[in-house]
A = this chain, B = another copy of it.
Amino acid sequence: MDQIFFVGLVAAAFRLATPLVFAALGEAISQRAGVLNVGIEGIMLVGAFAGAWGSAATGSPWLGLGVAIAAGAAAAAVHGLLCLHFRVDQIVSGIALTVLGLGLSGYAYRLTLGSDRGVAIPSFARVDLGALGELPVLGPMLFQHHLLVYVALALAPLLWWFVNRTGWGLAIRACGEEPAAAHAAGIDVLRVRWGCVLVGGALAGAGGAYLSIAQIGNFVEDMVAGRGFIAIACVVYGRWNPFGVLLAALFFGAADAAQIRLQALNPDVPYQFFVMAPYVLAVGALVFVSRRSRLPAALGRPFTPPR
């Protein structure tokens, strides 16, 4: 019983964390370059719909994922256009994007898949890792997931390496810290920020698609249900470091998995406590662990090269 509880919890933690990992890593990249995107929720919804639609239209979840990634980048491009080109405040643009993503995905769904409830949405199968998947305890915990789960886990070291070990990463960090210094050093700040916004949107789109074409195999309006905002929290809790962000997302996934299990075991404790617990824990940890803000210094501040 206890083992079943634990095995199920770990497996569910990975499943629940995966969309957060995608979206939060994307947001982290964007923020490291200095662009705050609070519209990630809307982008994930667009990705979730686009993934479902693309998958139904082409019959292949891989192509669906590609459509979702493209749609996520396109939605993020709206943010880029508004913030980087028209210099609208990033919070305003992000809130608008959230509403836009919710509206457009819901509307497009009704026009396409929703009007025809019979359409099958081809979804990712779980990977078959052969003997690994057969392992007694570890198998169901770690080796019976969708491929996208492993992709998400692999993304964190990849992004860490990219941000901390490559020249592009240095440029990204410079744009987030001191755009004027980056500009003086010959870096095209706007182009770097554009790139990061688009990559961030593509990842958020993939996170949404995970929900629709891996986890559920369906699209419903507002199915992202606040995960975009939790992804932003993960970025902050993870101190803008891809590994930290991954840990934060796994923490929230595990907390959610634990929460839904403990609820059923303790029907007398009001469910609100289970919902609040991870946040209280996370804030408590921050109070003790790290008081120093590692916020990219230029986050949210527009930069215009002198003319």
A residues apposed to B, CB below 8 Å: 82, 86-89, 91-93, 95-96, 99-100, 102-104, 106-107, 110, 229-230, 232-233, 236-237, 270, 272-273, 275-276, 279-280, 282-283, 286-287, 291-293, 295, 300-302
Q: A82-B283, A272-B107 are in contact. Are A291 and B88 (CB under 8 A)?
A: yes
Q: How far is the CA of A103 from the CA of B236 in the complex (A)?
A: 22
Give the chain B neighbours of A273 by CB distance below 8 A: 103, 107
> Is A287 in contact with B110, judged by CB distance below 8 angstroms?
no
Copies of the polypeptide in the assembly: 2
Which of B88, B270, B272, B293 is A89 in contact with, Cβ under 8 Å? Answer: B293
Give the chain B neighbours of A82 by CB distance below 8 A: 283, 287
> Is B302 in contact with A107, judged by CB distance below 8 angstroms?
no
> Is B275 in contact with A99, judged by CB distance below 8 angstroms?
yes
> Is A236 in contact with B92, judged by CB distance below 8 angstroms?
yes
Q: Which residue of B lies closest to A278 (CB)?
A: B99
Additional A-B contacts beyond A88-B287, A110-B270 (10; CB < 8 A): A82-B283, A87-B292, A89-B293, A92-B233, A95-B229, A95-B279, A99-B279, A102-B272, A103-B273, A293-B302
